Amino acid sequence: MNGFGELEPQTPELVRPYVITKGRGLPDEGQLSLITLVTAAADHEQRPTRLSPEEQNLLDLCSAGYLSVAEIAGHTQLPLGVVKILLAALTEGGYLITRAPVQRAPLADRDILEEVLNGLRAKFG
């Protein structure tokens, strides 16, 4: 029976994004880019946990290795902005560690391009 006024169970799809993020704003662009690589901190299990289900899910996802911010959003099917906010909070709390993509500089670029070219040729040549 579909009781009038009955409370719907809250599935993630029915939760507004600002509820999941607890009203927090987007982190600094420099802090988490699409290709910033993220993984769980080695000691994350020893930390006092008061994590939301979404935060816990992200932490679990990141506990088996490195994923980019974009991949985490893709796997969880959460909007990118929401994922960034949650990841920033988890990083601040010491649950996650992030590895920013290498800072771009003209010299470093040349080496990277050379490596990308060689990699593509080795893989597909």
Partner 1 sequence: MVSGPSLDEQAYVREGATQTAVKILVVGHFAVGKTTFIGAISEIEPLTTEETMTRAAESVDDLKGVQGKTTTTVAMDFGRLTISDRVVLYLFGTPGQQRFVQMWEDMARGALGALVLVDPERLADSFAVIDLIEQYGLDYAIAVNHFDGAPLRDEMALRDALDLLEDTPVVTCDARDERSSADALITLVRHLQDRAH
Name which of 36 and 91 has its Cβ closer to partner 1.
Answer: 36
Q: Which of residues 68-97 bind partner 1 (CB under 8 A)?
A: 68, 70-71, 73-83, 85
User: What's the Cα-to-Cα distance from 34 to each of 31, 81, 119, rounded to whole Å?
Assistant: 10, 10, 22
| Residue of 67, 87, 88, 90 interacting with partner 1 (CB under 8 A) | 67
Q: Is 55 in the site for partner 1 (CB under 8 A)?
A: no
Name which of 4 and 124 has its Cβ closer to partner 1.
Answer: 124
Q: Are 14 and 8 in contact (CB under 8 A)?
A: yes
Query: What is the Cβ-side half-sphere exposure of residue 80, based on CA atoms within 13 angstroms?
Result: 10
Q: Is 104 in the site for partner 1 (CB under 8 A)?
A: yes
Beta bridge partners of 24: none
Query: What is the Cβ-side half-sphere exposure of residue 73, based on CA atoms within 13 angstroms?
Result: 18
| Residue of 45, 47, 60, 94 interacting with partner 1 (CB under 8 A) | 60
